Structure 1
Amino acid sequence: MAAELVRGQNHPLSQNRIEIRISADVPVVAGATLADESGRVRGTDGVAHPGAPTLPGIEVSRQAAAEHRLAVDFDAMPAAVHRVSVLIALPATPGAPPRFGAVAAPRAAVTGLDGTEIAGYNLIGLDSESAVVALELYRRQGAWKIRAVGQGYAEGLTGLLADQGLPGAAELARGIEQAVARGLARAVPARTADTDRSWRTAASVTGADLPGTASAAGSPYDAQAPDDTAGRRATSDGPVESEPTPGDAGRLPASGGPGAPATGTSSGGPTGGPIDYTHPKRRRTSRPPAPETPAPETPAPADGPAPPVAGDAVGWSMDERLYNQVWGMFEDLARSTAAYRSAVDFAESRMEKELDQVLSDPRSRLGTAGDAAREAAQARQAQLVDQARAALDRDLAQLTAESEVVEPALPPAYARWDNPVWHGYRVPTESPMAVRLGDLHLPESAPLRIPMLVRLPLERGLWIDSGVPDASLFEEAGELRHLALQTAVALAARLLAVHPAGEFGVQVVDPAGAGASAFAPLTGAGVLDAPPAVGAAGVAGVLGRLTERVDLVQMAVRGGASDALPPGLDTSRQLLIVHDFPHGFDDRAVTQLRYLADEGPDVGVHLLLVADREDAAAYGPLLDPLWRSLMRLTPVPDDHLADPWVGHAWTYEPGLVPPGSQVLQQVLARVATARTKHT
């Protein structure tokens, strides 16, 4: 049974040769882009469109048509290609509609060579868009999968190609349209349905190349009917209905004889969505790829893809591969949840529309007919929600299985404090590429936790909020502040532990000395560069020294005179923990702190505030730039973090040491011993 996809949903592919069929009410232009493991298209030679329809492993239609068929051969796909984005666009020809909202929703379907549909996607909700990325074929754990994308662009081809990161997007789009207008796209007479079906079936059975195909390094089909198939991605939040559009699976093009108008469009999908988390997607290759063995063309197993493997992502080291895999899990969870929420919203809106229609008709408002209509609408809504939940549960099961494999394999910098890796901790000889700040999860998948990893060195300072709104739930006013300090201490200890001895230092400013008990693990182990600074004089001394360090290093770097730094200047990275800000800070100290927050990260000075923003209200808007420059964390679970990609409110949980555990003291003792030997 074919899978009916909604926006963001993915589906496994078990066949090495497939077709992507597009059905629309008006002629559209089909294209595709080929991207590497980081989602980058190598240039115009990575774009297939009617003016240049053939790339290794894929061929698109040579003209505009209401129905298209894109041929894909994964065996012929270059090893460097990890993502194929399928797109469609409205041609810029007289009489063509200016936007997709003016025509019926098109459909993209993935089929085998015999026309059997594997998965389908109806692109509803399009409005002002004239170009759309419909589908994405991508490598996942060594196998290919398909994802319903639905990203539309009101700017047309230019906006779509620019979002792909292609230089000269406007020029490329204009060249495609000009090529179409000059009739450079070929028109090939359509075959009959019976001839086409028997021809392709024979080729799939015998394994022989199809007529006109190039070698394995060439295009999968060189001769094909003039039907173009490019998928598009809906831009609305609502998913498609579960019922497939009648007649669009397995159809041959109805247009495309000699002399048919040609329309070309090149396109590409967004590289993992508008948000850029600076992580390459988890694709298997940074090691030399092993020769691929063609997968048997049999249906995918009912229990899903192959068992997950820790480190199964791109990267030169295991740490980098695990980092990319973790953020790939974050991306998958975001997309799956977005698809589920869209499906639920769509089911609710459709039921409301159907109920409104029932109530608007006096004949069906009362009596058994009205009751039956209402029950039918509610049943359809429940069915759609159940289908969406089943798809989400499938994805969550896969991600949970992956998490259970990945979590135990994480290095100390990425691992929770209860991970056994900390019991065998040794001071590292190299700095890590990232550090774990806590965990992230969504309401629909509460048991599943995704590590929140941030790259090192920290580009932004951190602010642990000691005055979150639910502070009233704590019995004592100071309990939440103490918990915020514990969060800061656990993070500082982690940063010290994951850096080589002597390459990272921690300083503490505690004007009133109120955090002495919370800082005891750091002071007792002797891992601080100096005792916590107290009083106005202590605050001024620490801020003055760090400000001078930032000034000297900046001048040396800008003047190209790094060797001229004073011999006694400590150039190791520093973390300044500021407790109870702004108490004990005069205007000069506040100005210095803002300077460190803005300029410090570039020269190795990082800021960690433990404070309640409301306490700084007396300063008015003076400190607003400071708060905005910091990443806010909370000492208790809170859904204050939102990704700008799909807009989810992620619940953040701090990375605290389990109650009663001695792991923090043991790790800090080893750090202190290594620091002593280093000095």
Structure 2
Amino acid sequence: MTAELVRGQNHPLDRTRLEIRIAAGGPVVSGVTLADERGALTGVEAVAHPGAPRRTGIEVPRQAAAEHRIAVDLDALAADVHRVSVLLALPVGIGGPADFGAAAAPFVTVTGLDGTGIASYTLTDLGAESAVVAVELYRRQGAWKVRAVGQGYAGGLGAMLQDQGLPQAAELAAEIQEAVRDGLARSIPAPDPAPTPPAAAAPAITPPEAAAPASTPPANSTPTPINYHHPNRRPTAPPPPQNTPAPTPTEAPHTQAPHPEAPPTPVAGDAPGRTADERLYNQVWGIFEDLSRTVAAYRSAMDFAQSRLAKELDAVNADSRNRVGPAADAARAAAHDKHARLAAQAREVLDRDLAQLTAEAGVVEPALPPALADWSSPVWHGYRVPGDYPIAVRLGDLRLPECPDLRVPMLVRLPMNRGLWIDSGTPAMFRGEGAPDGFADSFGPDAFGSDAFGPDGFGNGPDGGEPLDAAEVRRRALDTAVTLAARLLAAHPAGELTLQVIDPAGAAAPALAPLLETGALREAPAAGAQGVAAVLGELTRRVDLVQMAVRNQAAESLPPDLDTAEQLLIVHDFPHGFDDRAVNQLRYLADEGPSVGVHLLMVADRAEAREYGPVLDPLWRSLLRITPVPDAHLADPWVGHAWTYEPSRVPEGSQILRQVLTDLAEARRARGHSRTSES
């Protein structure tokens, strides 16, 4: 399954002959730089671009286009090439947006030659930049990995190449843009005006090659309906008859009238997969994707209705002789009526699709196994320690403002390929700053109205009351860490995950009580500078030894005292009590640990960590950030909506978490006695 990366995240490559596929909303220039171990370029011959598309092991397209395929043969690269950076830039002098903030988010996928997806990355946080390093393939200890970079440059190609140490950066950037302009002039003639379709012709519905945030269509274009449905799932309603007439000027082109036939009855596990759990996992992802595209279609239709209203009102006001009077008032009233009809039609289609997705979610939720189920599910009362790893774990729920009552489980595959950062600072929406990371600038009362945010209220606390104070948010962050640790322990076979805790100041004892009292946490949390150094040193040693053993296929040479179980390290109150050496060790564990079974669960205030300067940026960017209270900071990989994340909490007064941890501790002790008897 394709790994969906975010900025700073890396993923191992299991092959050396690759394709890098790029999809954008309009023409972009693609290129590749070949850098040494320090990230420096030796000269212009280290850059593959439209004017020189072939370098040893690399071939890039010759033109600017909305879609690209770059061929890469890592085995053919020179021995001194350690970093292969994929560049994207907007062409100059041929029209189109001046920066990526005004264009659809580019989507990059690394695949095998057979098209099998390895990793993908959506560049959703660009603004004034006109050039960007999208991803890089880098060599580390003899193995190749891909990292999502997303580093943009407002100065364009020249600034990007100069940043990589190329002395001739400005000259080469001009040469690339000139080659692009020449290629477009020769190979991409301007299209002829499309003939007006006959009234009886049905509008074509073409699935988009890459999902991007919906935008208002140009005034002189006729938008086509959006097919937002997951390609591997049954449609929520049968398609319209083939003789459906084309929309008239008073009909919304983004929507279709509901079909009179009833949609199919949802069935749990009705998705591809070899096992029941895999089918349920794929079905949850299908609901998530369908909801994302459904809301994208609704927002696009509403944008169209609003832009049409503005255009018609402008036309009335443009005539100074007729902008007042009964005729002008009637024209304005007609424009507002038309807008109301288009908005109502869009909402009708949205409500229809939401009803179907809600019904499907209602069938799937009770069928989920413990690893994927909410803590309130009755399935936990029949919990048994698993004998094998589940396909994924549930970290919480996701929702969108248009449908606050429809919550989709947030599932993460096992083994996890990145750690977690639980932000103990006040959420951005509580500070009145909107959603962080640039994912959701449109979230706020000005965008959807105050009623669209659901019962939580984005300016209030999670229970609709006053905003939480800093101490309460920190307490909930640590509680969230404990419940997530319990869920991860419950998802592993007995003894296959070892939990450790670093608590420099010893302030986490009350929250850690369930783990300590049940024996799930076998050793007291490490405190003080010596305790921090000892734990981090041992885990760093473990990563180094296991990496060497895997690379040399010598697992039997591992020291007998090495704990070969996967490791989960909870780090509380970071960065207080951590020196530079400890910070570097944490960065190393975050980057290299997941591939050999060492995972971080950081509990820290990201805003506070920023005060320590850019040294901590690579650390928190390499981890998946979640929050102890609802916050809209996660973006989906298809459209880029800002999703509100809600942590999964144990019901008030429930003893299910302690019961699960007790069962795990007993199963681990029983396994230990069995091994002792056998020896």
Tell me the TM-score range normalised by the shorter chain. Answer: 0.5 to 0.7
Q: Matches of 2:638 and 2:249 in 1, distance apart?
A: 24
Q: Which residue, 403, 411, 415 being the options, matches 2:373?
A: 415
Q: Contact 1:108 / 1:134 at 8 angstroms: preserved in 2?
A: no
AA matched with 1:590: V
Given that 1:121 and 1:240 are in contact with CA atoms closer than 8 Å, whether structure 2 keeps it comes out as no
Q: Name the amino acid aligned to 2:272.
A: V
- 1:382 equivalent among 340, 350, 361: 340
Q: What's the counterpart of residue 97 of structure 2? A: none
What residue is the counterpart of 2:507 in the other structure? 514
Map 1:42-441 onto structure 2 (within 5 A): 98-99=189-190, 103-104=193-194, 125=217, 243=251, 302=260, 304-441=262-399
Aligned to 1:175: none
C-alpha separation between the residues in 2 aligned to 1:658 and 1:351? 48
Cα 1:122/1:317, change in 2 over 3 Å: closer
Query: What amino acid sits opposite 1:598 in the alignment?
Result: D
Alpha-carbon distance, 1:107 to partner = 6.6
Equivalent residue for 2:477, pick from 484, 504, 526: 484
Letter in 1 for 2:583: V
Q: Give the drift of 1:613.
A: 2.0
**For the structure 1 residues 629 and 372, does the alpha-carbon distance in structure 2 shift closer, same or farther, using more than 3 Å as the test?**
same
Counterpart position of 2:414: 456
Alpha-carbon distance between aligned partners in 2 of 1:122 and 1:609, rounded to the nearest angstrom: 40
Partner of 1:674: 667
The 4+ residue runs of structure 1 with deviation greater than 3 A are: 40-44, 94-100, 104-109, 115-129, 132-148, 239-245, 471-477
The separation in 2 between residues aligned to 1:108 and 1:604, in whole angstroms, is: 61
1:39-61: per-residue Cα shift (whole Å, max 9, x none)? x99989xxxxxxxxxxxxxxxxx
Q: Deviations over 1:150-199 (max 9, x none)?
A: xxxxxxxxxxxxxxxxxxxxxxxxxxxxxxxxxxxxxxxxxxxxxxxxxx
Give 1:316's aligned amino acid. R
Shift in CA distance, 492/405, structure 1 to aligned 2, threshold 3 Å: same
Counterpart contact for 1:506–1:575, Cα < 8 Å: yes
Q: 2:562 is paired with a residue of what secondary structure? A: coil
> Hey, what does 1:500 align to over in structure 2?
493
Partner of 2:555: 562
| 1:323 alignment partner AA | Y
- Report the 3-state secondary structure (helix = DSSP H, G, I; strand = E; otherwise coil) of the residue aligned with 1:451: strand
Matched, 1:572 2:530: no
Counterparts of 2:599 and 2:483, CA distance in 1: 16
Structure 2 residue 543 is matched with structure 1 residue 550: yes
Q: 1:629 to 1:95 in 2, by over 3 A?
A: closer
Q: What is the CA-CA distance between 1:413 and the residue it aligns to?
A: 0.7
1:280-310: CA deviations, max 9, x gaps? xxxxxxxxxxxxxxxxxxx997353211001
User: What is the distance in 1 between the residues matched to 2:508 and 2:590?
Assistant: 22
Stretch deviating more after TM superposition (608-617 or 382-391): 608-617
Q: 2:404: which partner in 1?
A: 446
Partner of 1:635: 628
Q: For residue 624 of structure 1, what is the aligned residue in structure 2? A: 617
* Percent pairwise identity: 60
Shift of 1:645: 2.3
* Superposed CA RMSD: 3.9
Distance 1:651 1:382 in 2: 28
Partner-residue secondary structure (3-state), 1:443? coil
Does 1:607 pair with 2:600?
yes
1:574 maps to amino acid: Q
Q: Which residue of 2 aligns with 1:465?
A: 423
TM-score, normalised relative to structure 1? 0.60
Deviations 1:121-167 (CA, angstroms, capped at 9, x unpaired) = 899948999xx99869987666797889xxxxxxxxxxxxxxxxxxx
Alpha carbons 1:105, 1:126 under 8 Å: kept: no
SS of alignment partner, residue 417 of structure 1: coil
**CA contact 2:270–2:280 (8 Å) conserved in 1:** yes
Distance 1:342 1:138 in 2: 18
- Aligned residue for 2:283, secondary structure, equals helix
Q: What is the SS of the residue equivalent to 2:506?
A: coil
Secondary structure, aligned partner of 1:362? coil
For normalisation by structure 2, the TM-score amounts to 0.60
Shift of 1:433: 1.3
List per-residue Cα deviations over 1:494-530 (Å, max 9, x = no partner): 0101111011121110110111101111111111142
Q: What are the superposed Cα offsets for residues 507-565 of structure 1, whole Å, 9 maximum, x if unpaired?
A: 11011011110111111111114211111111111111111111110111111211111
Give the Cα–Cα distance (whole angstroms) in 1 for the partners of residues 593 and 286 of structure 2. Answer: 30
Compared CA separation, residues 609 and 363, structure 1 to 2 (3 A): same
Distance change in 2, residues 1:99/1:108 (3 Å): farther
CA distance in structure 1 between the aligned counterparts of 2:248 and 2:519, rounded to whole angstroms:
61
Match 2:586 to one of 574, 585, 593: 593
1:363-398 deviation digits (Å, cap 9, x = unpaired)? 431111011000000000000000000000000000
- For residues 367 and 390 of structure 1, the distance between their equivalents in structure 2, rounded to whole angstroms, comes to 35
Q: Give the number of the structure with larger relative contact order, counting CA–CA contacts within 8 Å between residues 6 or more apart.
A: 1
Deviations 1:334-379 (A, max 9, x none): 1110011111111011011001111112343111101100000000
Deviation at 1:313, TM superposition (A): 0.5
Q: Distance in 1 between matches of 2:195 and 2:583?
A: 57
Decide which structure has the larger Cα Rg and report it.
Answer: 1
Does the residue aligned with 2:498 lie in a helix, a strand or coil? strand
Distance (whole Å) between structure 1 residues aligned to residue 207 and residue 364 of structure 2? 35
Q: Determine the structure 1 residue equivalent to 2:645.
A: 652
CA distance in 1, matches of 2:291, 2:524: 44
Query: Which residue of structure 1 aligns with residue 135 of structure 2?
Result: none
1:423 alignment partner, SS class: helix
Name the CA distance, whole Å, in 2 between partners of 1:571 and 1:439: 32
* Alpha-carbon distance in structure 2 between the residues aligned to 1:660 and 1:536: 37
Gaps of 5+ in 2: 1-110, 116-182, 209-215, 432-460, 673-679
Equivalent position amino acid for 1:510 in 2? D
Q: Deviations over 1:473-497 (max 9, x none)?
A: 5565321111000101010000101
Cα 1:373/1:422, change in 2 over 3 Å = same
Q: Which runs of 5+ in 1 are unaligned?
A: 1-39, 45-91, 110-114, 149-199, 202-230, 232-238, 246-298
Aligned to 1:536: 529
Aligned residues: 446
SS at match of 2:304: helix
Aligned partner of 1:434: which letter?
A: A
Instruction: Confirm or deny: 8 A CA contact 2:252 2:342 kept in the other structure.
Output: no
The one-letter amino acid of 1:397's match is: A
Which residue type is aligned with residue 405 of structure 1? V
* Cα deviation 1:210-234 (Å, max 9, x = unaligned): xxxxxxxxxxxxxxxxxxxxx9xxx
**Structure 1 CA distance for aligned equivalents of residues 344 and 237 of structure 2:** 23
In structure 2, the residue matched to 1:88 is none
Aligned amino acid, residue 424 of structure 2: S
Q: Is 1:440–1:449's contact at 8 Å kept on the other side of the alignment?
A: yes
Separation (CA, whole Å) in 1 of partners of 2:625 and 2:398: 14
Query: Which one is further off, 523-532 or 473-482?
Result: 473-482
Pick closer, same or farther for the CA change 1:310–1:490 going to 2, 3 Å: same
